[in-house]
Amino acid sequence: MIARRALLALLAAPGFGTAAPVAAPRTLIFPRDHGAHPEFRTEWWYVTGALDVEGQAEACGFQLTFFRSRTDLAADNPSRFAARQLLFAHAALTDLRARKLQHAERIARWSGDGDASAAAASSDDTRVHIGDWHLRRNADGRYGAALGGEGFAYALTLTPTQPLLLQGDGGTSRKGPDATQASHYVSEPQLDVSGTLTRGARAQAVRGRAWLDHEWSEALLHPDAVGWDWVGMNLDDGGALTAFRLRRADGTSLWAGGSYRARGGALRNFHSPDEVRFAPGRRWTSPRSGAAYPVEWTLHTPAGVHRVVALLDEQELDSRASTGAIYWEGLSELRDQTGQRIGRGYLEMTGVAARLRLGA
């Protein structure tokens, strides 16, 4: 593990971010593209979902994320111990019954050696770990994940029930007015979840539904963007809805997009910023950061007009000890215009407390 001061020194060094950006669609090849892409500046494997706990009426939300950030510091250093990459991991649990969020994080140097024991990310398939925290994809397509922090831990199996969802143009997702502001972006919605949730000394069986995003990019944010708003919703009828926008400091949208796929149906991508609109509603102000987050939204997409409603206001994560970001990430419901729940998933808001700086 490395100290926050050392991390900042690494990321401030000359030469950071020199690879070519995502400029045009390309055919993604699996399982290789489930793995790491260390030539790109930023990458993450991001899983969110809802867990129904055995013997408990209310669900829990969970988030696990592994981030990779290229440092460009050791191109001429042949040592396998040179810090060519940094790996971060976040684990979070939203306990609706207790009305609280628990959060833990880790950070480690990585030489780029896929066999490194302390921390590594395979380029062949999804196999990323920091110590005993891990996310691994098995040959049968199922994922195994184990993470946790003080007072909570989960060990989960995530089983795909639907084909991969390639966001944007065949997995190339535009993120700004400049064509180079793009990412390769793959989702796996409607993952069937089973496993064990431990809170304190008590372990309980859980089942649920989850959503996995894998995204990698060289130049993601336009200079005018301070952050983004994003939703990934597993619909109760088996469909999947994604919507995002890149946000300016004044709260207006710089860019937007998303997708909708009905259960068993064709994928419809939203490529035009005019097709997606986030209208903020009720706000919650964090007592820690002072940021005012909209915890209810009206979402307009070609799939319809919906409400996004947080199931707990206080779901702000302070990761200044690792990635440096303060962001809101929480279990939410998708409701129709009558107020009826039609889906459940996660809402994310970054760049509200301060401008988002990826990897810093």
Rounded to an integer, the average pLDDT of 176-183 is 89
Rounded to an integer, the average pLDDT of 260-268 is 95
Measured CA to CA, the distance from residue 93 to residue 197 in angstroms comes to 10
Peptide linkage before 160 cis (omega within 30 of 0): no
Compute CA 193 distance to the chain's CA centroid, rounded to the nearest angstrom.
17
Residue 320: its pLDDT value, please?
65
Q: Are strands 119-121 and 127-130 parallel, antiparallel or unpaired?
A: antiparallel
Does residue 318 register a pLDDT over 60? yes
Task: Please work out, in degrees rounded to the nearest 5, the angle formed at the alpha carbon of residue 34 by the alpha carbons of 170 and 60.
Answer: 100
Residue 272: its pLDDT value, please?
83
Does residue 15 register a pLDDT over 90? no
Q: Which pTM value belongs to this model? A: 0.90
pLDDT tier at 3 (50, 70, 90 boundaries)? very low
Residues 213 and 187: beta-carbon distance below 8 Å: yes
Residue 56: its pLDDT value, please?
82
Residue 324: its pLDDT value, please?
63
Q: What percent of the chain has pLDDT over 90?
A: 72
Segments making up each domain of the chain, as ranges? 4-11+40-350
Residue 209: its pLDDT value, please?
97
In Å, what is the CA distance from 98 to each residue of 95, 156, 204, 314? 5, 21, 16, 12
Rounded to an integer, the average pLDDT of 123-148 is 97
Residue 16: its pLDDT value, please?
37
CATH number of 4-11+40-350: 2.40.370.10
Residue 78: its pLDDT value, please?
55
Does residue 32 register a pLDDT over 90? yes
Rounded to an integer, the average pLDDT of 327-355 is 94
Residues 84 and 100: beta-carbon distance below 8 Å: no
